[in-house]
Structures are given as structure tokens and as C-alpha cells.
Amino acid sequence: MKSTYRKIPFSDVVVKTNKNAYWGRKWNLSDVIYFVVMLTLHLMCLFAPSTFNWKAFWVAAILYVVTGIFGIFLSYHRHLSHSSFKLPKLLEYFFAYCGVQALQGHPIDWVSRHRFHHKFTDTERDPHTPVDGFWFSHINWIFNTEYVIEKVGKRKNVGDLRKQFYYRFIHRTYLLHPLALGILLYKLGVGLSLCGAWE
């Protein structure tokens, strides 16, 4: 993979940008699925201005709070990655399930990557360092599932999660859960049926 090095303006930090982040490597099935899902979601946003309605807006706002704030920030990040506080198991599993719906990966993968990120912050082994470039640290790391293994090895830092049947089950069935939520929202009338352009 070819790299270019450049200095961030008004800073002494040198950033390495991978030129062939998409086309210069072999994609596995997970990479393709993530790419297709993200591309589809962003293409669908082109229809958003002409199909706006308040019901869909509030569903999106609530889902942001549930998946982003409760799922990723509170569960995946503060609770599972850093063990910042304790929760009863039922609440722990509920909040982790909210994170599953955010489409950022299953808890074992996300937590492992984040623990490695803190262990190797801004070094060559950091799985999503900004030193690899803004877009890579922001989102491109999601599309290259093998890259993390190349940098840090297997997920040996999440034994606490692997011991629990719940997290192993979510790992094996990960993509079914966001798909089920999409079908449920569609059946409740919050999906494409609300969009005049689709009727």
C-alpha cells in the first residue's frame, strides 16, 4: 500500500495518508457489506429534502440518542471499553444492544479496537490513528477489517466479553439485528412508506 506524507497546516504533525485505501487491497465480505450499507444510506439521503416529515425526523432523533448516546458513548465506550462504571447485567446488555443498532460493529470488535487504540495511541500500531489521515481515523477504518489485525494482531484483549454468551451471540448474528430494526420501522410506517417519492 503506497503512502504519502504531509504536514498538517499550522502544526508540526506529519500525517501518513494511504493512497490506495479502497482499491489497492483485497476486500473481504465484511468490508463489502459495510461499504454497501454506508453507500446506500448516504445515497438515500439525497431523497431526504423532498420527503421530509416530522414523524421521521423525531424517529431519527430518538434513534440517534438510543444508538449513539446510550449505545456507543455510554455502553461501548465508557462501560465496555473503559469499565468506568458498573451496571446490572440486564441494563448492560440492553445498552450494548443499542450500540449494535448504530452499525459500528459488534461489541467484541468495537471494544477490542478501542482498547488497542488507547494502548497504542497515535503510534504505527494504533488501529484508527489520525496519523493515518483524517478520513481513515474518522470512517475508513470501518471498511478495512483486516487492517486492525495486521496492526495489532488478534482480538486477545476482550476475554471478558468473549466469556459471555450474549456477546458471542451478537458477534455471530450481528447484521441481523440492524436489519430487523429496519424491517420493524418499515412495518410501523416509519420507513419508505412515509416518503411520497416511494409511493
Dihedral angle sign, alpha carbons of residues 178, 184, 185, 187: positive
What per-residue confidence (pLDDT) applies to 17? 59
Of 60-64, 94-98, 109-113, 114-118, give the range with the top mean pLDDT. Answer: 94-98
Q: Give dist(CA 21, CA 30) in Å, integer.
A: 15
Q: Give dist(CA 65, CA 26) in Å, integer.
A: 35
Tens of pLDDT, residue by residue over 96-113, are 999 999 988 899 999 998
C-beta separation of 170 from 107 below 8 A = yes
Residue with cell 484508527: 128
Is the model's pLDDT at 191 over the cut of 70?
Answer: no
Q: What share of the chain is helix, strand, coil (3-state, %, to 5)?
A: 65, 5, 30
* SS3 assignment for 44-69: HHHHCHHHCCHHHHHHHHHHHHHHHH
Tens of pLDDT, residue by residue over 23-39, are 667 777 877 887 888 88
The string of DSSP letters for 100-121 reads HTTTS--HHHHHHHHHHHHHTT
Nearest-CA neighbor of 35 among 26, 54, 18, 22?
Answer: 22
At a CB cut-off of 8 Å and minimum separation 6, what does 63 contact? Answer: 101
At a CB cut-off of 8 Å and minimum separation 6, what does 157 contact? Answer: 112, 115, 116, 119
C-beta separation of 103 from 68 below 8 A = no
Q: Give dist(CA 131, CA 143) in Å, integer.
A: 17
Higher pLDDT: 5 or 82? It is 82
Whole domain around residue 41: which residue ranges?
3-198
Higher pLDDT: 53 or 84? It is 84
Tens of pLDDT, residue by residue over 121-152, are 877 788 877 777 777 777 777 777 777 777 78
Q: How confident is the model at residue 9 (pLDDT cuts 50, 70, 90)?
A: low
Joined grid coordinates for residue 32: 463489502
Number of domains in the chain: 1
Q: How confident is the model at residue 195 (pLDDT cuts 50, 70, 90)?
A: very low
Higher pLDDT: 9 or 192? It is 9
